[in-house]
Structure 1
């Protein structure tokens, strides 16, 4: 098979979710609805945290950062997909594809760091409640976000440069609705051994280490909660972690599904569904999970929604 150097590649082709023109309007309406719900829900979370002083705590600080990240991640993927569906254009420029890959890498890595930081915050709140405000100071929370941004930028830059060094074959079709790193790697004609090693290293840093930290935090939390003599007290302590556990399970579970789908070369439509579960569904559901399972957030959301008709 002939090959092209990366400098000769001008476009990739996104095959999308379907090649049936009758289904495309349904897909467009569905994804537009999901995108609008994602933007509105996460904006309400950010507005609630920034507007009410009783929500300006470390936990809600991380939640608002997660909401902002969810908006950015979804916006990286969905608008271009909606535009392609409407215009029937399947191509994306080489520069546009590389940009999309880098942004998805950054926001996915940043999300993993935030979820890990939230688990640490829950650990401190339950295991060291008397010193929680001292340990989880605004200075520490700011440093955690800064470190998360820097390490995510480093990961994005390293893997982005790796893609720049690839040479591609004449087949430039990506069986998804956005440019995803593992699918780009499959199109390469050049040797990808070093690239795969770097990808596994990145997966360990942004997957293995955070998950290990989250598991450790919740083992310590469970150990402390089980020592509480009151059943009501144990339930209350566990309930404060339920939202984070739900969001974490949804995020890492869908991410693992994407990895397995790409690794074992299952049908393209199933890989697309896996990517939807990773880049669209969690970001849409997170505001509902945090709102419906948290009394303070639920009360604040009712206030915000009641203000809207009077504007």
Structure 2
């Protein structure tokens, strides 16, 4: 006789507990690898110190706890992280890593949040319309536009948008950070390739669902094509898109170095590049912690949305 399945709340609690444990492990390994790799790179954070004698270098390394063996540096840093101390930046020495993230992250979160809404909404809409109008000029035009959006890099799209809408038409500001008008061009630039990815993914998924047996059954019961698609097909077709949107959200919310540079926005994207260039391990590790945390959270949301969108899918403990 088959044993009774545990109650769903118990399964959910077990699932969340396992995800919490695995998330801690992911963060631990990601930060560990980041710290070790940047410390193994040639050069150090104090090599460009003006007039830096050997004694000055030694004092700075001791102050920032970068003296001793690599293992000692690593264990000391991980012990500080366990106390929620992300340390000071070795480049911007009056700034803690928490203060740098607090200054840089809000602009990237706003920009990335708007870009995510644009990419997910327009991408799903264009993909669904293209699938419903397969092999028509609408489908061909949408997929051609998607191909162009994917093929043209942001460092070309950004200046083009500035030239047209800021310098020629004078509708929007060239760049910088201020009111809502400053967000429009960078958000569009950041979201364009992802609109294309989502649209193509949605189109292909919906085309597969339209051929499925359960949709034929829905049509046989008297539902119109629009009713069959809206009530049944979209919920299944959107599942691969939801899977993609989890990592996409984490990626967009942590900033884009290219877009932020083109539009003169001081955001989180610069932390990754500047930290590597300056051999500054602590802001880089802090940025990795933020990125991995967002990735974990959005992937968890994706898993929970799966069980909402498709009742056949349930989380398991």
More strand by share: 1
Question: TM-score w.r.t. structure 2 length?
Answer: 0.30
Is the radius of gyration larger for structure 1 or structure 2? 2
More helix by share: 1
